[in-house]
Chain A
Amino acid sequence: MNWLRLRRLWHPAPLKRRYDTVIIGGGVHGLATAYYLARTHGIRDVAVLESQYIGFGGSGRNTAIVRANQRTPENVRFYAEGLKLWRTLTDELDYNLMFFNCGNLNLGHSEAALNGFRMAASTHNFLGVRSELLDPQQCAELIPGLDISDRPAFPIHGGLYHPPGGIVRHDAVVWGLAKGAAAHGVHIHQGCEVRGIDTEGGRVTGVRTSLGRIGCNRLGIMAGGYSTAVAAMLGIELPVHPLTIQATVTQPLKPFLHHVFSSGAYHVYANQTLKGEIAAGAHMDPQVNYTTDATAYYLKHQAEALVDLMPALSRVRFMRIWAGLADMTPDMAPILEGDLGFGGLYLDAGWGYFGFKSGPVAGKYMAEYMATGERPDILRTFQLKRFLENRYSGETAAVMKYGHWD
């Protein structure tokens, strides 16, 4: 019965007083960066410091949707590479990440929305990423429960179908990356809260934590929605606004929904998990905050939106509701930066609601950036200084928009 024995995926390591590289935040971004630092660049003297437990942040709370149908070529390229990584990582980590390649259908409810879809699909296709325009009838063939009549408040005018996307199990990604990073020598310290950052002569020299001081040569801030607070320890202001997003799951049902569908007009997206639940989001509360508060208002809104689009869901019960933080930037594109005024300091933040799908690819390039000190070309577009030069990314024109953040 050896196969029944529980085996730990990774083992806690003793806390050293000094590491070459320290990463703040045990989410997908921090863990992926640590993994690639050790695996690809041979930098194994790395610690990931996580104040709670790995996956406590957005990485364990997201709705697990992955796709590459962004608006601007720079972003499409980046996310398209991210999408390809799930398969290689599943092999590399020897851990089932449960990539369910079911495709995403974005619904459009006006002619203007369809024009937006046309432009987006052209960009995707030009870059070799599959996306196609569907009429309402084709949308209903893909997802039989959709009401394509003119009864709903926002009737369906068409859709943008993106076959390469789907769902990946988020816990598996966190655990798999932790397993892989630890196997290459990375130390993961949970329950270790960073409270201050030390610098000397314009370089970072270490962090002050709830478990004492830890020295380092290189420091990565990868604290998701808490990045603004961590950067503030060095007096650094960021254009990153922490806002809560909420999500729900219903009771499990027999499989009937075989794709992710979403609608910006209704502020809703939904898919059926491999367990049969309808997982749905997303609502973003308007005010900056660091809580994970869920609200009755959201539940009501979610029910109305789901039932209007798919009336057959009207008797289905919600089982759970939760919230997590999203680190919103003004242009809906992230900040990947090593030029922050302190030597050895790196930042990977501002992912909004796109940070799960981008975790591994961002980690891959942040590891290269931190290992070589040279900014990889693909990250040029994500510099912090764009906000000081009025060169915002065009991502706010993307088809996916779910909240007050406009």
Chain B
Amino acid sequence: MTFRLTCPVCGKRDLYEFTFGGQDRGPRPEQEGLSADEHFRWVQFRMIPGGMGAGEDAGPRAGGQGQLQHEWWYHGQGCGVWFRTTRDPATNREVKDGGGEG
């Protein structure tokens, strides 16, 4: 099943109009004094919540099932805006902040 995302300008549109911009990792770390190791960790290393077994025991950083991911999307085949939304990688669905389907 495909799903829809909510563009802040155009409203709900089909997934395939958008480009995935990745997990929202917050602002880029200050480069001053940043080691190469820390830099590359920020660029590529992830924990993606919601896989099999990522249940109650998984620990706070891993995120259990139903844990949400804040992420960036680009409405390339629409208005061309970049925006943030929240999605559950275990179900693929967009979720409103505070719960419930978006």
Contacts and interface: CB of A to CB of B under 8 A. Distances in A.
Interface string A218-262: 000001011011111101011111100000000000000000000
A232 B89 contact: no
Given A226-B52, A229-B51, A295-B2, A388 B37 contact: yes
Contact of A239 (B37, B44, B51, B56): B44
B55 A289 contact: no
Contacts, number: 127
Interface stretch (A98-106, A191-199, A361-369): A191-199
A276 interface: no
A59 B84 CA distance: 34
Given A235-B59, A287-B87, A291-B90, A388 B1 contact: no
Contacts of A289: 50, 89-90, 92
Contact of A229 (B37, B52, B87): B52
Interface residues of A, number: 40
Interface in B25-49: 36-37, 40-41, 44-49
Interface of A: 51, 193-196, 208, 223, 225-226, 228-233, 235, 237-242, 285-291, 293-297, 330, 387-390, 404
The 3 lowest CB-CB distance pairs between A and B, nearest first, are A229-B51, A232-B62, A196-B57
Given A232-B48, A289-B90, 20 more contacts: A193-B52, A193-B53, A195-B53, A195-B58, A228-B46, A228-B48, A229-B48, A229-B50, A229-B52, A230-B51, A232-B59, A232-B62, A238-B45, A239-B44, A242-B51, A288-B46, A295-B2, A297-B16, A387-B40, A388-B36
